[in-house]
Chain A
Amino acid sequence: MADTWEVRKPPLAACAVLLGLAFIAAALGSRAADATPKSPSVVRVVERDFHISLVHGRVTAGTVVFRVANHGPDEHEFIVIHAERGLPLRPDGITLDEDALAKSIAGSIEPARAGETNTLRLSLKPGRYAVVCNMFGHYMGGMHAVLVVQ
């Protein structure tokens, strides 16, 4: 999954260094920053037992940043699937068949504990997307939502 970016909590020292570097880079390249064509779309996502809420159901194509907050109490994963048609299940009839959907999966976040917030930055083409948690029973239990990219 070349275009997925799993984000972990970075160490404090590394944060400080990165912050410093970012500050210097910002100071040096303020003109370049001005040249950025447009800011990416941010989609706030809240996961609970057992449903997914999207603050914005429609975004513009291009870079989309998902801020996924797991409000628990259980662990949940986050998968973005380009789904123009229905989604196939595995033979157990409970979970989505990720192997069959491999080409359609735009990106994912591994299971996160309750209270965590993770960010997923994806470059999405226009279309209809499903965001799901495919942990055992979670999809069927209600953890799926639709995102339309225009």
Chain B
Amino acid sequence: MTRRAREFRPFAPRARSTIIAIVVTFALILAASAAVSIWSTAKSRNRAAVVEIAGRQRTLAERYVTQLLLVRGGEQASPQRTGVLLTQSVNALLNGGTAPAVEGDDDDVMLERETDPRIRAEIVEQQKLIRDLLANGNAFLTRRTGKLPETAGERITTTDPLQRLRVLSALTSNVSLSAAREIAARTDRNVKQTITLQVALGAVGILVSVLLAWALVATTRRQTAHFRSLVSSSTDLVLVLAGDSCRYASTAVERLTGQTQSQLTGKGILRVIHEEDVERFQAAQRSGDVKELVFRMRNAAGEWRHLEAHLTDLRADRHVRGVVLNSRDITERVRLEQELTRQAQRDNFGSQLVEALEMADEEAAAYDVVRRAMVEIGEHTPMELLLSDSSRAHLDQTAVHPLAGAPSCPVESPYSCVAVRRGHAVVFETSEALNACPKLRDREHGPCSAVCVPISFMGRSLGVLHATGPDGVAPSKEQVAQLTTLATQAGARIGTVRAFEKTQLQAQTDGLTGLINRRTLETELRALLRDNRPFALALADLDHFKRLNDTHGHEEGDRSLRLFSHVLRQVLRDDDLVARWGGEEFLIALPDADAQAAVEVMDRIRAHLARTLDGGQVRFTASFGVSDSTAAASLQELIQLADIGLYLSKAAGRDRTSVGVWTDVREALGAGNGAKRAPAFHRAAAEDEPNAS
């Protein structure tokens, strides 16, 4: 048989209905008791008078016989009056009415009709006996003889009138006594019945009340249990505080703190509250105005949990007399909020960093951004940026924290750095740990904590970002994250700048000699022309370069070209421009110079070349053709004139300098040929070019 599940109704008004039921029961029982008393009293009313009248009959019957005898003896008496009294009294007893007074004894008494059948039967018997007694009495007085009535069942054997009177008197007396006794006994029974009824009513009342009280207790207990289960199974942490101490701590608080109710109540609660929050906690419950409070509570594992409490001031409520704190654990929410804040800060830092680095168009500017970012990350944290040079073999200190200085890591090459090798940030809580980087030991400022974040670009290691802090205090996740951001963004930017600079250099210079290339020089020359700045041009060509290449190999040819370019740079001014024009041809521009000056300079070059080659290298010479900006309007024509000069030098036997003029061309090509530059014109020079080029 399954037990019927009770409804869970903590707020059910069942207790009230039970109390009402108890009160109603008591009222009903009191009313019933009063009704019984009234009924019983009403029944017993006049009983004393009835008993007295019934008893009086006995005396009257005897008095009647006595008075008869007195009258027969000639004395004064009134048996008739006594007979009337007897008759009226018995009638009153039977049917109600006035029982007449016996003169000198009592007063008239009003009687009610007798209802009890047994007593009525006795009174009827008495009535008959009185009738017989009075009939016999009359016969006795009149001395009449004959058959006398015997209506009451008596069979008097004697015929002596006096004896008959005495027997009838005795019977009347006895029956009257019996009736009086019966009436009195019935009154007693009534009283007894009333008492019994009252006792029974009282017992029933007590029983019902006990049952109802038991139901009330059970209901109250059940409601209490419902509330207890609500409070104890709730995850809400409930505290009741009064007068700086805790009066109640719910089961949830016990579970959280791992402490018992008795440990938490009183001042014990303060032991599990964060010392920074104790004052606010106490102030909040003292004022009662504070509605919400966030504080920290230590859990069983010793961690601080953030609790958000709603305060209800129930100090005026006599059932509570305290401030009730309903608290929830919001640690996870606080953690998330902090994480979001950090994330926002990091994002902000990251976006600012990206913008700053975008504006840095060369490495130096990027390093400056890195230095400023270092201050943002940690004002007092020594940091340095170590980057590899073009050879990628050495690490150089390229940026240092402007305020805190450099931690000065002794690492020399990228692959000596553990962070670079691992490819991700490495954090050391202390330099003294067994697994700490050996390069952290024996630092100038003693033991330290450190972070090393590798820097790479397009998968190639550029270097490492290194920061140190106090020994034993690991840098915050926040700082590590910021350093990682800095390393990533700085690496990307520096890599990009380096690649750009390299590309630009490659586009502007000749790879072999390091001189600017033809296009760059043309740009520069156009700028001079545009500025109307006078300049001289010289076209140089190594003599018999093809033969040199063929004889000594291309390496020797390349070396000769590099040596020649070196000589050019040595002799020429800084302002002068020199470019490899193609093959073994070089074009030289001398700003603010004319052709004559240029010839002198070229001659100096030839002389310096000759001197340089005295060291035992493969010897070679160069021929030069010169023009200046006064000889032609366009760049193309100027170059053609220099080319003509070169041709003249080649034609005249090489290792010399000639100024190109238009007449020379005509001479060389023959009159009538209007073409300013013909393929044959360059043939002599072409003969000097190496086959391979």
Chain A residues engaging chain B, CB cutoff 8 angstroms: 48-51, 72-75, 93-94, 114-115, 135-138, 140-142
Contacts and interface: CB of A to CB of B under 8 A. Distances in A.
A141 B163 CA distance: 11
B66 to A, nearest CB: 14
Contacts of A136: 170-171, 173-174
Contacts of B174: 74, 135-138
Given A49-B154, A50-B154, A74-B174, A140 B167 contact: yes
Nearest to B119: A73
B171 A137 contact: yes
A94 B175 contact: no
Tell me what chain B mostly uses at the interface: helix, strand, loop, or mixed. helix
Given A74-B125, A74-B175, A93-B163, A49 B153 contact: yes
B122 interface: yes
A73 B155 contact: no
Interface of B: 118, 121-122, 124-125, 152-158, 163, 166-175, 178
Given A50-B154, A138-B171, 20 more contacts: A50-B155, A51-B154, A51-B155, A72-B118, A73-B122, A74-B125, A75-B178, A94-B166, A94-B167, A114-B118, A137-B169, A137-B171, A137-B173, A137-B174, A140-B158, A141-B154, A141-B167, A141-B168, A142-B153, A142-B155
Given A49-B152, A50-B152, A141-B167, A74 B122 contact: yes
Contacts of A142: 153-157
Tell me what chain A mostly uses at the interface: helix, strand, loop, or mixed. loop
A140 B170 contact: yes
Contacts of B154: 49-51, 141-142
Contacts of B171: 50, 136-138, 141
Contacts of A51: 153-155
A141 B154 CA distance: 5
B155 A141 contact: yes
A79 B174 CA distance: 18
B124 to A, nearest CB: 7
Contact of B125 (A73, A94, A137, A138): A73
Contacts, number: 69
A114 B121 contact: yes
Contacts of B121: 72-73, 114
Contacts of A72: 118, 121-122
A51 B156 CA distance: 10
A110 to B, nearest CB: 14
Nearest to A114: B118
B385 to A, nearest CB: 114
Contact of B156 (A48, A115, A135, A140): A140
A146 to B, nearest CB: 13
B310 to A, nearest CB: 70
8 contacts: A49-B125, A72-B122, A74-B178, A93-B166, A114-B121, A137-B171, A140-B163, A142-B153
Contacts of B124: 73
Given A74-B174, A94-B166, A141 B156 contact: yes
A113 B108 CA distance: 31
B232 to A, nearest CB: 55
Kindly list the 3 A-B residue pairs having the minimum CB-CB distance in the complex, ordered from nearest: A137-B170, A142-B155, A73-B121
Contacts of B168: 137, 141
A105 B7 CA distance: 80
Contacts of A138: 171, 174
Contacts of B118: 72-73, 114-115
**Which of A50, A51, A72, A135: most chain B CB closer than 10 A?**
A50
A73 B116 CA distance: 12
Nearest to B121: A73
**Which of B122, B166, B173, B174: most chain A CB closer than 10 A?**
B174
Contacts of A94: 166-167, 170
A97 B638 CA distance: 195
B646 to A, nearest CB: 160
**Which of A138, A140, A142: most chain B CB closer than 10 A?**
A140
A96 B152 CA distance: 22
Contacts of A115: 118
A75 B158 CA distance: 23
Contacts of A93: 163, 166
